[in-house]
Structure 1
């Protein structure tokens, strides 16, 4: 029995898995070792996760999480999990590797995350071998919900939207300039706030102005990220995340312009990750470091 954890900054999904079934699942708060120490992570695991496991004793824990992008940060998570599961093999990796394994399995491909933020990598079937850096909310996140929200709100505030759209947007969110700016600049996670406007764009995506913004968003993403990878026109390009999932029709239109082949689009990496680790269990018979 193993545990697969998919952790963002908001929540962590824990799935208890054998080589042919999912026994149960649990949920706890999300973790980010960029901001949290091992003691804080352990406290949540001890208080919230362990009572949900009903004395299950996993042989291994495969944890994929936001902020797990350096050995030092990963070690904080390892230390916390080691205290909770002293006998288990523990593997901690970045959520980008989770996306690659969920989308590509054990085959080479390009893996992309398009949710609140964005990220991409070139994957060889085992490891990430290239990564055009994601510069985050201030400088990057092309293709994401946050970037989409920026395009919409700049057009609204600069009075570039037609009256019907501007009125609908204002009424939907009860917008005022001061209220919007106070919320944006007062938010601990401004990207999350900006991404909330992607829902409006989804509802209005057939409007030519909104369709054009969505198209521009994905064009910037492909230009600045995907086309930088070797063999991008021959390797499958795969996506995970709410933005790629709910805007898949326009995403495919833009990909076609660049001669790219989209093979898989998932809303969440969970199902793909479970399949990946179950196949490893079936192949090797016992958990191994991956």
Structure 2
């Protein structure tokens, strides 16, 4: 039995699985080792995860998390999990690896995340072999909810939106220039604020102006990320994340423009992660033989 975690900064989804069974989903708060130390993560898991597992102890834990992008950060999560489950093997990796395994399984492909932020990688069926850097909210995040939100709010402040659309946006969020700037520059996570406008854009996605913004955002992502990978035109390109899932019609249009073969488009990576690890358990029998 293994425990699989898909963790963001807001929430973590945990699944206990065997080679053939899944014991349901457990949810706790999210963790990000960029901002949290081992003892903080341990205490939160001790209080919220252990009671939900009902004394079940996994043979191995596979944790895929936001912010798990360096050995030092990964060790913070690993140490917390080892304190909690001293008899379990612990493997900590970036959420991008989780996305690649979920989307591509054991086959080569290009895996992309389009949610609040964006990221991508070239995956050979086992390892990530190339990654066009994600430059984050200030310099990048093309195709993401945050990027779309920036396009929308910039057009609103520059008075470039049609009157009816601008008034609807203003009324929904009680927007003022100073209020927007206060939220944007006073927030610890400004990308989350900008991404909050993606739901409005989805509701108005048939509006020609909104449709053009979404198309532009995805085009930027394809141009700056996907086309930089070797064999991008021959490999399947997969997507996971709320933005990719809810704007999939436009995503398909942009993919066609670039002559790209689309693979899966998933809202979350959890089901694909489970399948990936169950296939390994079926093939090798024990977690320590899957590496």
Residue 239 (structure 2) aligns with = 239
Once the two structures are superposed, residues 111-145 of structure 1 have per-residue CA deviations (whole angstroms, 9 ceiling, x without a partner) of 00000000000000001000000000011000000
Determine whether 1:274 maps to 2:271: no
Determine whether 1:97 maps to 2:106: no
SS at match of 2:16: strand
Residue 142 (structure 1) aligns with = 142
The Cα of 1:179 is off from its aligned counterpart by: 1.4
Distance in 1 (alpha carbons) for counterparts of 2:209 and 2:30: 36
Question: Which structure 1 residue ranges, 4+ long, deviate > 4 Å from structure 2?
Answer: none
User: Which deviates more, 206-215 or 277-286?
Assistant: 206-215
Residue 120 (structure 2) aligns with = 120
**Structure 2: which 5+ residue stretches go unaligned?**
none
Distance in 2 (alpha carbons) for counterparts of 1:81 and 1:44: 11
User: Which deviates more, 202-211 or 278-287?
Assistant: 202-211
SS at match of 2:35: coil
Residue 165 (structure 1) aligns with = 165
Distance in 2 (alpha carbons) for counterparts of 1:167 and 1:84: 52
SS at match of 1:200: helix
SS at match of 1:273: helix
Distance in 1 (alpha carbons) for counterparts of 2:210 and 2:259: 24
Residue 17 (structure 1) aligns with = 17
User: Which deviates more, 153-162 or 18-27?
Assistant: 18-27
Q: TM (normalized to structure 1)?
A: 0.98
SS at match of 1:185: helix
Once the two structures are superposed, residues 198-247 of structure 1 have per-residue CA deviations (whole angstroms, 9 ceiling, x without a partner) of 11111111111111111100010000000000000000000000000000
The Cα of 1:25 is off from its aligned counterpart by: 2.4
Aligned length: 290
The Cα of 1:24 is off from its aligned counterpart by: 3.0
The Cα of 1:197 is off from its aligned counterpart by: 0.7
Once the two structures are superposed, residues 37-61 of structure 1 have per-residue CA deviations (whole angstroms, 9 ceiling, x without a partner) of 1111111111111111111011000
User: Which deviates more, 117-126 or 68-77?
Assistant: 68-77
Distance in 1 (alpha carbons) for counterparts of 2:20 and 2:189: 39
**Structure 1: which 5+ residue stretches go unaligned?**
none
Residue 83 (structure 2) aligns with = 83
Once the two structures are superposed, residues 229-288 of structure 1 have per-residue CA deviations (whole angstroms, 9 ceiling, x without a partner) of 000000000000000000000011011111101110000000000000000000001113
Once the two structures are superposed, residues 171-208 of structure 1 have per-residue CA deviations (whole angstroms, 9 ceiling, x without a partner) of 11111111121122121111011001111111111111
Residue 200 (structure 2) aligns with = 200
Distance in 2 (alpha carbons) for counterparts of 1:45 and 1:199: 31
Distance in 1 (alpha carbons) for counterparts of 2:65 and 2:261: 28
Residue 218 (structure 2) aligns with = 218
Distance in 1 (alpha carbons) for counterparts of 2:57 and 2:195: 39
Distance in 2 (alpha carbons) for counterparts of 1:127 and 1:44: 31
Q: How does 1:165-184 map to 2 (within 5 A)?
A: 165-184=165-184
Determine whether 1:5 maps to 2:15: no
The Cα of 1:34 is off from its aligned counterpart by: 1.0
SS at match of 2:205: coil
Once the two structures are superposed, residues 130-168 of structure 1 have per-residue CA deviations (whole angstroms, 9 ceiling, x without a partner) of 000000001100000000000000000001111111111
Determine whether 1:32 maps to 2:38: no
